[in-house]
Amino acid sequence: MTTTMTATGQVPIPESVRTAAGLVPGTPLEVSITRSGNILIKKVKKRRPLTREQIEAVRQIPRDFPWSSTDEFMAFIRGDDN
């Protein structure tokens, strides 16, 4: 599907694409350039707010961080099951 950028730099997204992607006015979008120079537009995922338990768990974290990687730490604070 082809679209044309306006003089003000706006790019209209065709209605069929907006509908299929679930885009409504106000939907946050991330725009980036790929390594091959293409433009990539992605819907920004909503994040769940932290629970009180997760906040309290972060407060209890020892200062010498026992996790061997950032991924392990992030999984811990998100409450991911591993």
On whether the CB atoms of residues 63 and 77 are closer than 8 A, the answer is no
Q: Where are the domains of the chain?
A: 1-46, 48-82
Q: Given this model, what pLDDT does residue 28 score?
A: 92
DSSP 27-56: --EEEEE-TTS-EEEEEPPPPPPPPHHHHH
Which tens digit of pLDDT belongs to each residue from 22-59?
Answer: 999 999 999 999 999 999 999 998 778 888 988 888 88
pTM equals 0.51
Helical pair 70-78 and 52-59, crossing angle rounded to 10 deg? 140
CATH for 1-46 is: 2.10.260.10
